[in-house]
Structure 1
């Protein structure tokens, strides 16, 4: 067995795990996700996910029903999005087309917000403007171009670990407000609900409920300010931390192929994608589901709480 391949024996599957970088990302082979997962295989996949933060499967031609069954192997599912509508027959599934990014973003490629931090080119954590963001996100490539449309993921635990002890100690006791952008709020329009604004108070550092490891809980573009700091202090610290979150040595880049599936731990990663949508006109369609999460907890025991809007619901 190669040093670059890890095998996990489950019954009846034998998973082949291929790490992609030293800190984040692994591809899993040896399992057909069209079939129901037995408990041992689901547990092995989830263990791999928690270890490597984002995992990838190739050539998984799943129906919508099979995609939902796979997601439910890890817990109850949420609606597609707090402010976006899911598919009519499957309200858990959010379908995105690459063309939407051009329509909904400014020419400088930033998401329009009332008072944004510096432009971080789409880096974000899913749905942190609610107090209980989803635990896991699962994305399936439905219509994939032959090139372009890649996605990046970053390890937020590594970003925290890379800070100096003094900055870690400062961040451990701070809280930050996460808000919806102007795009996510307001009147309903095609594919959108009448929702928002949403806002939540989160710890700046969160403790992973499975491993106890600390990670930076900074969402570039959505984290509006750090509570208790002057505006310049807050913005300077957010810029510093966002730089850490987006450092290339903490990231993995995934080239999509048709019927590929990505699953990421939304409690310990940020991601950006499609990173080059402004430079190609090829069709790209993906479908996402999310596994329900819990209130994040900080090192001091503080649990996130809503400031505006409701908690993220559960469908089942």
Structure 2
């Protein structure tokens, strides 16, 4: 007898196939068009903690089914704290890239925008953890390939726990007590965002986070790096802060052994633990010749806690809410 969307799918064939020796796994033996039973959800959640990124192929689901799948991991947020989601599906953020034209123009000082603030560029600037400019960033992200170029458009993830583990003991001890300022202010960069459908302010946002966060479920430590959003380390001199962040970001971008790369296809899905990973994608975005469209949903997160007991707090702007 065939399964119906209303009947939980018992997925006895569910399998996880490690993608690298450290991070990532391909998932087979599951049909996300169907509802999932409690045992399957528990296995997926356990695998996500273990592998940090899960990859699904040939999952022809729609927006409603993506939102339902997201709910298995927790309460769903709006699409984004700054930009609107779809009017009929406010949980869905549509990321579009047309022939190399990025969704977010570069925040660059030029003769047409001479008053934009200048931020020092850093190696690996494309690496980020989602939405860290709020004090409670999303815990888990789900990204679905809708329209994918015939080649290019890959995403890369890095294991932030492995990155922390690879540092020397004296440096770990120093980093464990540091706190970083994460900021996003589109209006200050000359790109004010339109009003949000839900009436919440589209920014500015700033938060103070531990530089090392303790995973709320596993207790493991991870470097809490989000290159584009981390502006300074609290308490350090500007030159000290810049030098330390440059070093850490070079470690993040330079360790291929801590990374996994995913080749997208239509109906592919990636699910990642935003508390233990950083990602960069599409890695060749400016060079793409074809359209790339992906739909994103996120699960609400908590306030990150550092090894010293410091709890992240907002400096400017609201916490990130959940809606379904």
TM-score by length of 1: 0.91
- Match runs of 1:78-227 below 5 Å: 78-99=77-98, 101-102=101-102, 104-106=104-106, 114-182=118-186, 187-189=192-194, 195-227=202-234
How far is the alpha carbon of 1:301 from its aligned partner?
A: 1.1
Q: Check conservation: 1:85, 1:91, Cα contact below 8 A.
A: yes
C-alpha RMSD over aligned residues: 2.2
**Residue in 2 that maps onto 1:285:** 293
Return closer, same or farther for 1:83/1:273 CA change in 2, 3 Å cut-off. same
How far is the alpha carbon of 1:248 from its aligned partner?
A: 1.3
Return closer, same or farther for 1:283/1:151 CA change in 2, 3 Å cut-off. same
Runs of 4+ in 1 over 6 A off after TM superposition: 190-193
The 3-state SS of whatever aligns with 1:14 is coil
Distance across 2 between alignment mates of 1:300 and 1:113:
33
**Residue in 1 that maps onto 2:3:** none
Distance across 1 between alignment mates of 2:104 and 2:207:
23
How many residues are aligned here?
304
Corresponding position: 1:298 with 2:309:
no
The 3-state SS of whatever aligns with 2:14 is strand
- Match runs of 1:231-310 below 5 Å: 231-246=238-253, 247-310=255-318
Return closer, same or farther for 1:305/1:227 CA change in 2, 3 Å cut-off. same
Corresponding position: 1:60 with 2:59:
yes
Distance across 1 between alignment mates of 2:47 and 2:103:
37
How far is the alpha carbon of 1:212 from its aligned partner?
A: 0.4
Distance across 2 between alignment mates of 1:133 and 1:153:
17
**Residue in 2 that maps onto 1:39:** 38
Q: Check conservation: 1:97, 1:285, Cα contact below 8 A.
A: yes
Distance across 1 between alignment mates of 2:168 and 2:117:
31
Corresponding position: 1:313 with 2:317:
no
Q: Check conservation: 1:117, 1:239, Cα contact below 8 A.
A: no
The 3-state SS of whatever aligns with 1:225 is strand
Superposed CA offset, 1:286-310 (max 9, x none): 0000000100000011110000000
**Residue in 2 that maps onto 1:6:** none
Instruction: Give unmatched runs, 5+ long, in structure 1.
Output: 1-9
Distance across 1 between alignment mates of 2:93 and 2:266:
17
Distance across 2 between alignment mates of 1:302 and 1:88:
38
**Residue in 2 that maps onto 1:30:** 29
